[in-house]
Amino acid sequence: MKEKKEKQKTLVILDAHALIHRSYHALPSFASSSGEPMGAVYGVSSVLLKLIRELRPTHLAAAFDREEPTFRHIAYEDYKATRLETKSDLVPQFEKVKEIFTAFGIPILEVPGFEADDIIGTLVTLFRGGKDIKIIIASGDMDTLQLVEGLPR
C-alpha cells in the first residue's frame, strides 16, 4: 500500500502595513458606492487572493504596526521623525483590511511597543528551525530581506 505524502506546511506572513501602503500608492484612488476610499482595500484583497490561489498556504498571519510609540522611539527620539503623516483617506482602510483578514480567518498580530517587522522577525525565528514548514513573507518592505536565508524566490 502506498503511503500518502503529506503536503508541506507553508506559512505566509503578511506585512499588512507595508502591503496597505504599497496598494494605496500603486493604485488609482477609488471609492465605494457610498464614497468610502477603497483603493488600498482592493489592492490588499487582490494580493491576498493571489497568494492563496498560487501558494496554497496551510497557515497565514497578518502583522500590523500599532499607533503608539515603539521601543525604538523611546531609545531614539527622532526615530521616523521625517516620515509623513498617514493620509486621511488611507486611515479608515486599515480597519477594512483587518475586517477582510478576519473574514478569511487570518490571525491579526499586533504587539504594543513593537512594529510589524518585529513580529515578522519573531515568527521567522520561531519557525525557521522546523524543516517541515516553508515560510513566505509577503511585503513590499525591503527591510524584511534580512530575514531571508538561502536563495529567495
pLDDT band at 152 (very low <50, low <70, confident <90, very high): low
Convert the pLDDT of each residue in 100-121 to its tens digit: 999 999 999 999 888 889 899 9
Residue 151 confidence (pLDDT) above 70: no
What pLDDT, on the 0 to 100 scale, is given for residue 66? 82
For residue 115, what is the domain's CATH number?
3.40.50.1010
| Cα(105)–Cα(92) distance, integer angstroms | 21
What pLDDT, on the 0 to 100 scale, is given for residue 2? 59
| H helical segments located in the chain | 16-26, 39-55, 71-75, 91-103, 116-128
Residue 4 maps to a domain: no
Residue 2 maps to a domain: no
Residue 117 maps to a domain: yes
The total domain count for the chain is 1
